[in-house]
Structure 1
Amino acid sequence: MPLIANADVIRVTRVDSCGRPVCGEDNGWVFDCFASLGMSPNVDDGEDVEYKAANGRVCGFRRGCPVFKGFDIELNFFEIRPEFIEIVTGNPVVYGYDSKPIGYDDCAVQCNSGFAIELWAEVLGADACAAPGGSADGAWLYFLMPWVTGGMLGNLDVGNEAAPLTLTGSTRAGGAWDVGPWDVMAKNVAGAAGPLLTPLGPACHRRTIETTIAPPLPGADYIPVTGGLCLAS
């Protein structure tokens, strides 16, 4: 894998209670006003089995097999956008007289829904332009966690300094992201953009690939989820 220069853009996509992307309007969000995305493995070390004789001699031993439960994520971001918070926490947006979002409610932790999160990070040492169909825009390391649940906002301290927000959640396996609804990698030698060529397995929590397809541009509105597997549904 190449060297990571810096994180660039994040996109979140609403998924349903089965981990399927929700197609249609108001189901995606793209932003770049964040500080970091932490992805910490949650692992159960397993239980060792030991057979010890009365004289103290160990007759047999088997090391417990670690069980991978998923990733605990922690996103540190700065911009409070009700639409983004609605997608990742499931809590409702508050609207003004002109039907524009002006805030959000903190009500409950929604564990029967979720979201996918994608991160693009610029890389060093990747000569994307030299490859057939290479992109003049460069190359990125692309991270996908297709099913995150339990999205919850952390402490918010408002004072005379910057007030970053923290979002936590946990990945789940068994989702149905498949190839996804987005064009994220080259699908041919000409470098045309397309969805994932290999479906993400239902037991997987994260995919990491190098791509020459540029990340989406940040915006100030929901984005529709309409491509990829949505075209076949």
Structure 2
Amino acid sequence: MKGKMLRATKLGVCGDPILGAEGWPVHVTSKGFVSVEYAAEVDDGEEIDQKDANGDSLVYEPARRRIKLYNVTVTAGRVDPELYTLFTGMPVVLDEDGNATGLRITSKVNLDSAVALELWSGTALKKCAAGAVQRPRFGYFLLPQIIDGQIGDFTIENGAASFTLTGKAIENPGWGTGPYDVYLRSTGVEALESPMGDFDLLHLDWTQLPPPAPTCGLTPRPPDGTVAADATDATDMTAEYTATYVPVGPPPPPYTVDWGDGAQTIGPAEAEKVSHEYATPGTYLITVTDTTTGASRFKSFVAPAV
């Protein structure tokens, strides 16, 4: 399985996603990694085997194993200061323009910083229903909380440099269903169907929703809006996008609405609308993309609308 994308989201002390400017989760979306290793740390339990004075079995209880946590190692091929500081809690170094250019590693014990780590991989599964919009499937892996993030050893030499990030993945009910949509179902884009529980360490599944697009540094809030059936179309085959948030920039608004059938429209101004009529029924993935930063958000429309 080839790794496609990872997303690291900053968590608070209770394991809840930290929200930054405009209520957008503080996170990094990157494809600059070489590998992610998940190594289970197992508690083998304790066997009780008590014999009587004659040597016969008196009490026997077999040891019961359980996974305590996952030791996670991310090998990164690109230096991404924001990803490293989210993972480790180490302070980022800024240049005179406020851009992240490096990281300062300290001896302080990191007790407050934690991240959730999502990863998308490629998969060979291709089971498409007849007549449906054909889409690839992706593997989806979620670790709801990684603590004790550290940067591993590295070597400067005549060769490709890589850095390792290590941490301990533990349970985190504070993640709930998460702040993002990660599935594309027949009813549209959705978050996790059930929240991460008190003992859930790892969620792995496949999804037809593509991974988010990579961005430089912290992922900015993408343009946003609502999608509904155009009330003027009696066939319910026309989707109407109403902008609720537009990134700051010179006019026209610097974003696009990809309707999922090959058509694309320049995004409207805030509170304005654009519409698109579909030729055939189906569940369509709509991608709203900031053309300046690359940040994107997925929407969906079921044609005909019901």
Q: Which bin holds the TM-score, normalised by the shorter protein? A: 0.7 to 0.9
* Deviation at residue 41 of structure 1 after TM alignment: 1.1
* Deviation at residue 101 of structure 1 after TM alignment: 1.2
Identity %: 28
Instruction: Flag the structure with more relative contact order, 1 or 2, with Cα contacts below 8 A and sequence separation at least 6.
Output: 1
Deviations along 1:90-145, one digit per CA (max 9) or x if unpaired, are: 11111111211111110134222200000101110322x427865x4410110000
* Deviation at residue 202 of structure 1 after TM alignment: 2.6
Residues 111 and 148 in structure 2, CA contact (< 8 A), matched pair in contact too? yes
Q: Which residues in structure 2 correspond to 1:116-195 (within 5 Å)?
A: 116-127=116-127, 129-130=128-129, 134=133, 136-186=134-184, 188-190=185-187, 192-195=188-191
Q: Output the aligned Cα RMSD.
A: 2.1
Task: Quote the Cα distance in structure 1 between the aligned partners of 2:221 and 2:172.
Answer: 21
* Deviation at residue 88 of structure 1 after TM alignment: 0.7
Query: Which is further off, 141-150 or 51-60?
Result: 51-60
Task: Quote the Cα distance in structure 2 between the aligned partners of 1:89 and 1:110.
Answer: 7
Q: Which residue of 2 aligns with 1:46?
A: 45
Residues 84 and 165 in structure 2, CA contact (< 8 A), matched pair in contact too? no
Q: Which residues in structure 2 correspond to 1:52-131 (within 5 Å)?
A: 52-107=51-106, 108-127=108-127, 129-130=128-129
Q: Which residue of 2 aligns with 1:15?
A: 11
With normalisation by structure 2, the TM-score equals 0.67
Residues 123 and 141 in structure 1, CA contact (< 8 A), matched pair in contact too? yes
* Deviation at residue 224 of structure 1 after TM alignment: 4.3
**Rg (Cα) greater in structure:** 2
Return closer, same or farther for 1:133/1:106 CA change in 2, 3 Å cut-off.
Answer: farther
| Count of residues paired in the alignment | 219
Return closer, same or farther for 1:220/1:71 CA change in 2, 3 Å cut-off.
Answer: same
Residues 109 and 151 in structure 1, CA contact (< 8 A), matched pair in contact too? no
Residues 29 and 212 in structure 2, CA contact (< 8 A), matched pair in contact too? yes
Long gaps (5+) in structure 2: 225-306
Return closer, same or farther for 1:33/1:137 CA change in 2, 3 Å cut-off.
Answer: farther
Task: Quote the Cα distance in structure 1 between the aligned partners of 2:82 and 2:208.
Answer: 29
* Deviation at residue 175 of structure 1 after TM alignment: 3.5
Long gaps (5+) in structure 1: 228-233
* Deviation at residue 60 of structure 1 after TM alignment: 2.9
| Secondary structure at 2:2 match in 1 | strand
With normalisation by structure 1, the TM-score equals 0.86
Task: Quote the Cα distance in structure 2 between the aligned partners of 1:212 and 1:225.
Answer: 23
